[in-house]
Amino acid sequence: MRLIGNKVEDVSEQVLVKRSAHGDERAFAVLVERYKSMVFSTAYKVLKDLSQSEDAAQDTFIKAYAALPGFKGQAKFSSWLYRICYNTCISILRKRRPEVELTEAMAQTIDGPAEEFRSRDIQTVIQQEVNRMPDDYRVVITLYHFDGMSYDEIAHLTHRPLGTVKAKIYRARVLLRERLLERVGWEELKEVMWK
Protein backbone atom coordinates (compact mmCIF):
# COMPACT_ATOMS: atom_id res chain seq x y z
CA MET A 1 0.00 0.00 0.00
CA ARG A 2 1.36 3.43 -0.87
CA LEU A 3 1.18 6.56 1.17
CA ILE A 4 -1.02 9.08 -0.56
CA GLY A 5 -1.13 12.59 0.86
CA ASN A 6 -1.80 12.46 4.61
CA LYS A 7 -3.39 9.00 4.63
CA VAL A 8 -0.63 7.34 6.67
CA GLU A 9 -3.32 6.42 9.23
CA ASP A 10 -4.93 4.06 6.69
CA VAL A 11 -1.75 2.08 6.01
CA SER A 12 -1.50 -1.50 7.29
CA GLU A 13 0.36 -2.21 10.48
CA GLN A 14 2.97 -4.26 8.64
CA VAL A 15 3.83 -1.32 6.37
CA LEU A 16 3.88 1.10 9.31
CA VAL A 17 6.26 -1.16 11.24
CA LYS A 18 8.52 -1.49 8.21
CA ARG A 19 8.55 2.26 7.57
CA SER A 20 9.12 2.99 11.27
CA ALA A 21 12.08 0.58 11.30
CA HIS A 22 13.59 2.70 8.52
CA GLY A 23 13.20 5.91 10.53
CA ASP A 24 9.79 7.16 9.37
CA GLU A 25 8.66 9.09 12.46
CA ARG A 26 5.22 9.81 11.00
CA ALA A 27 4.55 6.10 10.58
CA PHE A 28 5.73 5.43 14.13
CA ALA A 29 3.46 8.20 15.43
CA VAL A 30 0.51 6.29 13.95
CA LEU A 31 1.62 3.11 15.74
CA VAL A 32 1.92 5.06 18.99
CA GLU A 33 -1.60 6.43 18.50
CA ARG A 34 -2.97 2.93 17.84
CA TYR A 35 -1.33 1.32 20.86
CA LYS A 36 -0.96 4.05 23.48
CA SER A 37 -4.10 2.99 25.37
CA MET A 38 -3.05 -0.67 25.46
CA VAL A 39 0.47 0.20 26.63
CA PHE A 40 -0.70 2.63 29.32
CA SER A 41 -3.38 0.27 30.67
CA THR A 42 -0.86 -2.57 30.78
CA ALA A 43 1.61 -0.39 32.67
CA TYR A 44 -1.06 0.79 35.09
CA LYS A 45 -2.24 -2.76 35.83
CA VAL A 46 1.30 -3.72 36.77
CA LEU A 47 2.49 -0.53 38.49
CA LYS A 48 -0.72 0.86 40.04
CA ASP A 49 0.73 4.37 39.87
CA LEU A 50 -0.44 6.98 37.36
CA SER A 51 2.81 8.90 37.04
CA GLN A 52 5.02 5.81 36.83
CA SER A 53 2.62 4.24 34.32
CA GLU A 54 2.88 7.30 32.08
CA ASP A 55 6.67 7.16 32.32
CA ALA A 56 6.68 3.43 31.61
CA ALA A 57 4.45 3.90 28.56
CA GLN A 58 6.74 6.61 27.21
CA ASP A 59 9.82 4.45 27.87
CA THR A 60 8.12 1.53 26.14
CA PHE A 61 7.66 3.50 22.93
CA ILE A 62 11.19 4.89 23.07
CA LYS A 63 12.59 1.37 23.49
CA ALA A 64 10.32 0.03 20.75
CA TYR A 65 11.39 2.71 18.29
CA ALA A 66 15.06 1.99 19.00
CA ALA A 67 14.53 -1.78 18.68
CA LEU A 68 12.31 -1.72 15.57
CA PRO A 69 15.16 -2.38 13.11
CA GLY A 70 15.63 -5.75 14.84
CA PHE A 71 11.90 -6.63 14.85
CA LYS A 72 11.54 -9.70 12.62
CA GLY A 73 7.77 -9.93 12.64
CA GLN A 74 7.74 -13.45 14.11
CA ALA A 75 5.17 -12.27 16.65
CA LYS A 76 2.43 -9.70 16.26
CA PHE A 77 3.63 -6.15 16.76
CA SER A 78 1.17 -5.71 19.63
CA SER A 79 2.58 -8.79 21.43
CA TRP A 80 6.12 -7.53 20.92
CA LEU A 81 5.16 -4.09 22.25
CA TYR A 82 3.31 -5.66 25.20
CA ARG A 83 6.49 -7.59 26.08
CA ILE A 84 8.59 -4.41 26.03
CA CYS A 85 6.05 -2.70 28.29
CA TYR A 86 5.98 -5.66 30.67
CA ASN A 87 9.79 -5.72 30.97
CA THR A 88 9.88 -1.95 31.50
CA CYS A 89 7.34 -2.22 34.32
CA ILE A 90 9.15 -5.12 35.98
CA SER A 91 12.36 -3.05 35.98
CA ILE A 92 10.50 -0.19 37.68
CA LEU A 93 8.98 -2.57 40.25
CA ARG A 94 12.35 -4.04 41.14
CA LYS A 95 13.61 -0.56 41.96
CA ARG A 96 10.67 0.61 44.07
CA ARG A 97 8.77 -2.33 45.56
CA PRO A 98 10.39 -2.84 49.00
CA GLU A 99 9.95 0.79 50.01
CA VAL A 100 6.37 0.93 48.74
CA GLU A 101 5.30 -2.20 50.64
CA LEU A 102 6.82 -0.93 53.89
CA THR A 103 5.18 2.49 53.51
CA GLU A 104 1.79 0.95 52.70
CA ALA A 105 2.00 -1.46 55.62
CA MET A 106 2.84 1.31 58.07
CA ALA A 107 0.06 3.56 56.79
CA GLN A 108 -2.72 1.02 57.30
CA THR A 109 -4.82 1.28 60.42
CA ILE A 110 -7.38 -1.43 60.92
CA ASP A 111 -10.04 -1.40 63.62
CA GLY A 112 -10.79 -5.05 63.06
CA PRO A 113 -11.23 -7.43 60.17
CA ALA A 114 -15.01 -7.66 60.37
CA GLU A 115 -15.47 -3.89 60.59
CA GLU A 116 -13.10 -3.28 57.70
CA PHE A 117 -14.72 -5.92 55.53
CA ARG A 118 -18.22 -4.67 56.18
CA SER A 119 -17.24 -1.14 55.23
CA ARG A 120 -15.59 -2.09 51.95
CA ASP A 121 -16.66 -3.78 48.78
CA ILE A 122 -15.18 -7.27 48.30
CA GLN A 123 -13.56 -6.27 45.02
CA THR A 124 -11.68 -3.47 46.75
CA VAL A 125 -10.37 -5.84 49.39
CA ILE A 126 -9.31 -8.38 46.78
CA GLN A 127 -7.55 -5.72 44.70
CA GLN A 128 -5.72 -4.43 47.77
CA GLU A 129 -4.49 -7.92 48.58
CA VAL A 130 -3.44 -8.56 44.98
CA ASN A 131 -1.48 -5.29 45.05
CA ARG A 132 0.34 -6.44 48.21
CA MET A 133 1.51 -9.70 46.64
CA PRO A 134 5.11 -10.24 45.57
CA ASP A 135 5.64 -8.88 42.07
CA ASP A 136 5.88 -12.22 40.26
CA TYR A 137 2.62 -13.47 41.83
CA ARG A 138 0.79 -10.17 41.34
CA VAL A 139 1.74 -9.95 37.68
CA VAL A 140 0.66 -13.50 36.73
CA ILE A 141 -2.60 -13.39 38.69
CA THR A 142 -3.42 -10.00 37.14
CA LEU A 143 -2.65 -11.20 33.62
CA TYR A 144 -4.71 -14.36 34.13
CA HIS A 145 -7.73 -13.15 36.11
CA PHE A 146 -8.03 -9.47 35.21
CA ASP A 147 -6.60 -9.41 31.66
CA GLY A 148 -8.03 -12.79 30.67
CA MET A 149 -4.78 -14.14 29.24
CA SER A 150 -4.29 -17.89 28.93
CA TYR A 151 -1.48 -19.84 30.61
CA ASP A 152 0.22 -20.16 27.23
CA GLU A 153 0.02 -16.41 26.55
CA ILE A 154 1.46 -15.62 29.97
CA ALA A 155 4.27 -18.15 29.49
CA HIS A 156 5.12 -16.58 26.13
CA LEU A 157 4.96 -13.04 27.51
CA THR A 158 7.08 -13.73 30.59
CA HIS A 159 9.46 -16.20 28.90
CA ARG A 160 8.74 -18.78 31.58
CA PRO A 161 7.85 -22.46 31.18
CA LEU A 162 4.14 -23.25 31.17
CA GLY A 163 4.48 -25.33 34.34
CA THR A 164 6.12 -22.41 36.15
CA VAL A 165 3.30 -20.08 35.14
CA LYS A 166 0.64 -22.55 36.33
CA ALA A 167 2.49 -23.05 39.62
CA LYS A 168 2.85 -19.31 40.21
CA ILE A 169 -0.85 -18.70 39.53
CA TYR A 170 -1.76 -21.56 41.89
CA ARG A 171 0.54 -20.21 44.63
CA ALA A 172 -0.80 -16.70 44.09
CA ARG A 173 -4.36 -17.96 44.58
CA VAL A 174 -3.38 -19.81 47.77
CA LEU A 175 -1.65 -16.69 49.11
CA LEU A 176 -4.64 -14.52 48.20
CA ARG A 177 -7.04 -16.93 49.95
CA GLU A 178 -4.83 -16.99 53.07
CA ARG A 179 -4.63 -13.20 53.19
CA LEU A 180 -8.37 -12.77 52.70
CA LEU A 181 -9.11 -15.32 55.42
CA GLU A 182 -6.65 -13.60 57.76
CA ARG A 183 -8.05 -10.19 56.98
CA VAL A 184 -11.78 -10.87 57.11
CA GLY A 185 -12.21 -14.35 58.58
CA TRP A 186 -13.98 -17.36 57.11
CA GLU A 187 -17.46 -16.49 58.36
CA GLU A 188 -17.39 -13.02 56.83
CA LEU A 189 -15.81 -14.26 53.60
CA LYS A 190 -18.24 -17.16 53.29
CA GLU A 191 -21.23 -14.89 53.90
CA VAL A 192 -20.23 -12.59 51.03
CA MET A 193 -19.17 -15.38 48.65
CA TRP A 194 -22.49 -17.20 48.81
CA LYS A 195 -24.88 -14.26 48.82
From first to last of its 195 residues, the chain has per-residue pLDDT tens of 344 445 555 678 889 999 988 888 899 999 999 999 999 988 988 888 888 999 999 999 999 998 998 888 777 888 889 889 988 988 888 776 444 443 443 344 434 444 444 445 566 777 788 888 888 888 888 888 877 788 888 888 888 898 899 899 889 888 888 887 777 666 655 555 444
Q: How far apart are CA 67 and CA 6, in angstroms?
A: 26
What pLDDT does 195 receive?
Answer: 40
* CATH 1.10.10.10 is the classification of domain 108-195: yes
How many other C-beta atoms can be found within 10 angstroms of the C-beta atom of residue 54?
14
**Nearest 5°: phi and psi at 76?**
-65, 150
Main-chain phi, psi angles of 3, to 5 degrees: -80, 125
Residue 116, pLDDT score: 45
Q: Provide the angle, in degrees to the nearest 10, between the axes of the packed helices 186-193 and 162-184.
A: 110
Burial environment of residue 108 by CB neighbours within 10 A (0 to 12, 13 to 18, 19 or more): exposed
**CB distance 86 to 157 below 8 Å:** yes
Distance CA 39, CA 34 (A): 10
What is the per-residue pLDDT for 12? 85
**Per-residue pLDDT, 3:** 46
Alpha helices by DSSP H, 48-161: 50-67, 77-107, 113-119, 122-132, 135-141, 151-158
Output the pLDDT for position 154: 86
Sign for the pseudo-dihedral over CA of 16, 17, 18, 21: positive
Which residue in 170, 159, 1, 193 sits closest to 80, CA to CA? Answer: 159
Domains 1-95 and 108-195 agree in fold: no
Domain 1-95 CATH assignment equals 1.10.1740.10: yes
Phi and psi angles of residue 78, each rounded to the nearest 5 degrees, phi first: -65, -40
Looking at residue 91, its pLDDT comes to: 83
Give domain limits for the chain.
1-95, 108-195
Q: Which residues contact 82 (CB under 8 A, 6 or more apart)?
A: 38, 39, 42, 157
User: pLDDT value at position 101?
Assistant: 42
